[in-house]
Amino acid sequence: MARRYDPDRRARIVDAAVTVIGERGIAGLSHRAVAAAADVPLGSTTYHFADRDELLLAAVERINDAWLTRFAEWLRSVDTGRPLARELGRYVTECLGPERAATELAYELYFAGLRQPLVRPVAADCLDRMTALLRPFVPDEHTARALVAAADGLLIQLLLTGRPCAAEEAEALFARLLPGTGSPPDAATR
C-alpha cells in the first residue's frame, strides 16, 4: 500500500494538541488523544513527536506564536493620539472579553513551566518578544518589560478571581508605570 502524501500532517497534529489541551488541560495531552483529534494514525504522532514532552513543546510554541501575532496586531491598532495606559487597559479588557478562551489557554500553558522545565525557555522567549514589540511605544526596555509584567499580573489575577476587568483600573495601573503619565501616590502612602 502506498504511503499517503500529507505535507500538512505535522501542523495538523500540533493543532490537534492545542485543541486537546484546550478541552482537557495539559493532563489530558497524550499521543492517543491527539491522534484521534487530528484524525491520523497513532503512529503519525509518534513519528513526528518522540514523546509527550515534544508534543507539549510544539503546542506551547504554537500558542505563543498565536499570542504574539495577536499582540502585534493589537499594537498596530493602538491609537497614538490616546494615552498608552488607556490603550493597554483596552488590551487587557480584550484579552478577557472576546479573546478570553485564547488567554486562558495561553496562561494554562504558561504555568506548565512550573512543572515542565522544557516550557520555561519558550515562555521566557514569549515575554522577551512581547517586550521587544512594545519597546517602540515607550522610553526604554525596562518600561516595556514592566508594562508586560503588569499586564501579565493583572490578567492572571482577573482570570483566577473571575473579577470583571474595569478598563479604568487597568489604565490607572499602567499609567503609574509610564513616565510623566502616572498619578502621584496618595498622601497616605508617602
pLDDT digits (tens, 9 = 90+) for 29-51: 999 999 999 999 999 999 999 99
Q: How far apart are CA 177 and CA 183, in angstroms?
A: 9
- Residue position matching grid coordinates 513519528: 47
C-alpha to C-alpha distances, 139 to 136, 143, 185, nearest whole angstrom: 8, 7, 21
Q: What is the four-CA torsion angle of 54, 95, 135, 142, rounded to 10 degrees?
A: -90
Question: In the prediction, which pLDDT does 142 show?
Answer: 96
**What's the pTM?**
0.85
Task: With beta carbons less than 8 A apart as the criterion, state whether 123 and 59 touch.
Answer: no
Q: Which domains does the chain have, with CATH numbers?
A: 8-50 (1.10.10.60), 53-179 (1.10.357.10)
User: Whose CA is closest to 64, among 121, 144, 13?
Assistant: 121
Question: In the prediction, which pLDDT does 181 show?
Answer: 58
Residues of the chain with confidence (pLDDT) below 70: 1-5, 181-190
Q: How far apart are CA 52 and CA 33, in angstroms?
A: 11
Question: In the prediction, which pLDDT does 109 show?
Answer: 86
Q: What are phi and psi of 128, to 5 degrees?
A: -65, -40
